Structure 1
Amino acid sequence: MGTGFIKALPNFVIALVVLIITWLVAKFTTRIADMITGRTRLRVSLQALVETLVKLTIWLIGIMIALTIVLPGLEPGSLIAGLGVGTVAIGFAFQDIFENFLAGVLIMLRDKMEIGDTIEVEGIIGKVEHISLRETHIRQLTGELTVCPNSMLFKNPVRIMTEQPIRRWEVTVGVAYDTDLDHATDVMRRALEGQEDLPDDHPVDIYVKEFGASSVDFMVRWWSGSTPRDMFAVRDDILRRIKRALDEAEIEIPFPYVTHTFKEPVPIAARGEADART
């Protein structure tokens, strides 16, 4: 065994040199692919996918050459056949890993959901910071980083909140039942005139929504920026304007009507002895 190992040392050295050359070629080729894709209009995720596939292909070729050098009796055909049989066994053992890998490839090939988009999936709302072949990093609105497996984003519905530069928002405003509804509509519409964050080609919609328990509810809809920050800032300004205008017009915004349910008192004699003493 010692003699065979000493005789095989030159092959090991050559295989090591091949791996070093493979590393250099992969690094150089990745830079070239980065330069080429950087001049195109490919999305960042697709650029990362091209670089990863180029690097993976070069490493597979280099490892196969190194194995044939270390094991001279191993032919490329038998090596590929062995890899096919081994891939089936490995696929069963690492099913989740390969599932996330394929899901990552398909996610990167999608036209939607780019890095920087704000999305919602399985109750997680945040900005996409990084997409790899195995996982996606989502920075939540509260600042925490959530690492999601790609299979979760591929199997479940994903709501892309910033796919368009603007989107529609809405709030509900209630007025008292003795209010003239046409007058209340005019008051709220005049209050929202001149709002800088609202586009001119998308007017504000004000509709009577329903008869509530203690108020007639209006639905106020508008279009503004699609980011959550835009929603909070614009909604705050709109609610302040509506509240100020309704107060100046002496239109009441009633409190919600709350019903209380009282249970029938139970006689002390019907309770247990311990409850009676209490």
Structure 2
Amino acid sequence: MNYMDTLEKELISMGEGLIASLPSLAIGVVILFATWVVGKIAVRITGRISARANLRESLQALIQTVTRVGVWVIGLMIAATVVLPGLDPSGLVAGLGLGTVAIGFAFQDIFENFLAGVLIMLRESMEIGDLIEVEGVMGKVEHISLRETHLRQLTNELTIMPNSMLFKNPVKILTDAHVRRDELMVGVSYDTDLDHALEVIRGALDGIEAIDTERPMSVFAWNYGASSVDFLVQWWSDARPRDRRETKSEVVRNIKKALDNAGIEIPFPYITHTFKEPVPLAQPAKEAAE
């Protein structure tokens, strides 16, 4: 057997087959290009329709992504049937089913994050722009994709979290409501008239405009501390972090000023040293010399 002749015949046959399939390949490339154009137009149209329907931003992103994936799946199936004439749509769908199962086992984490991303986008409770806390990470939701969520922390670091982490773990949404309750412990000395101190603290809150007056402000004599009687002060203010910090700063300043004006001491811990035996006191050097 002449191996070189056999190899030459095979190469010639492959070349002729490639040349014969060039028109189909060209048509397939045209179909892929058309798929890209149609996908762009379809995503733009669905984006405009979802925006006019006043859907949530995350839901708009989900609709656009599903539209893009659907257009590409159809385009790839059409291109495959053109390039490979012996491949019928039913066989292609069956092959895709088996391939999806195999890929699913190989890339389980990726598909888990994908499905979690879809479910997160369908949620109504969490939106882009919300301040959330999950697994000790607190930040503002900047972007939600089908695989990951971007959180901008209050210190301006960007944290990219897998969607499965947000789906499996409890998520604390800090800006779900426009107001939040804050609290502060204030201590006064034990010889203070507690009723008078309570009125002074409550009066210090009345002049703060940032406090939501439609909700109750509470001042309770709460605890016996090591060197003070502690009052628990509670109020409601804007849920945004910066507004909460500014409001709390004003609360602290006003309460301190009100207690000072009323002559009420905010005590600090007193330390008393006890010795079991008499402690000799050293005399000054001048007296010792005399």
Shared fold (TM-score greater than 0.5)? Answer: yes
Cα drift, residue 252 of structure 1: 1.2
Equivalent residue number for residue 45 of structure 1: 58
Q: 2:45 aligns with which of 32, 41, 51?
A: 32
**What's the CA shift for 1:188?**
0.6
The normalised TM-score by structure 1 is 0.91
CA shift in 2, pair 1:209/1:103, >3 Å: same
Structure possessing the higher radius of gyration over alpha carbons: 2
Cα 1:46–1:259, aligned 2, differ >3 Å: closer, same or farther? farther
Hey, what does 2:176 align to over in structure 1? 163
Which position in structure 2 is the counterpart of 1:240?
253
What TM-score do the two structures reach when normalised by structure 2?
Answer: 0.87
Measured at CA, do residues 61 and 181 of structure 1 come closer, stay the same or move farther in structure 2, by a change above 3 Å?
Answer: same
CA distance, structure 2, for counterparts of residue 210 and residue 232 of structure 1: 25
Deviations 1:26-70 (A, max 9, x none): 111111111111101210000010011011100000001111111
Equivalent position amino acid for 1:42 in 2: L
1:210 counterpart (223, 236, 246): 223
Q: 1:178 to 1:94 in 2, by over 3 A?
A: same
State how 1:1-278 maps to structure 2 within 5 Å.
Answer: 1-256=14-269
Q: Which moved more, 1:237-246 or 1:189-198?
A: 189-198
Q: Which amino acid aligns with 1:22?
A: T
Deviations 1:79-124 (A, max 9, x none): 1111111111101111111111100000000011111111111111
Distance 1:209 1:41 in 2: 47
Number of residue pairs aligned between Structure 1 and Structure 2: 260
Q: Which amino acid aligns with 1:63?
A: L
Aligned residue identity for 1:14: I
Partner-residue secondary structure (3-state), 2:116: helix
Taking the aligned partners of 1:208 and 1:75, their CA distance within structure 2 comes to 80
When residues 155 and 244 of structure 1 are mapped into structure 2, their CA distance, relative to the original with a 3 A threshold, is same
Mind listing any 5+ residue stretches in structure 2 that lack a counterpart?
1-13, 274-290
Amino acid paired to 1:190 = G
Deviations 1:154-176 (CA, angstroms, capped at 9, x unpaired)? 11111100111101110111111
Task: Name stretches of at least 5 consecutive residues in structure 1 with no aligned partner.
Answer: 261-278
For the Cα contact (< 8 Å) 1:118–1:161, is it kept in 2? yes
After superposition, give the CA deviation of every residue in 1:122-179 in whole Å (9 maximum; x if it has no partner): 1111111111111111100001111111111111111100111101110111111111
In the TM superposition, residue 258 of structure 1 has moved relative to its aligned partner by 7.0
Change (3 A) 1:93 1:259: farther
Percent identity of paired positions between Structure 1 and Structure 2: 62
Letter in 1 for 2:23: P
> 2:282 matched to which residue of 1?
none
Q: How big is the shift at 1:203?
A: 2.7
Give the distance between the partners of 2:159 and 2:87, measured in 1 at CA.
45
**CA 1:44 to 1:194, structure 2 compared with 1: closer, same or farther past 3 Å?**
same
Alignment partners' CA distance in 1, 2:212 and 2:232:
19
Letter in 2 for 1:136: T
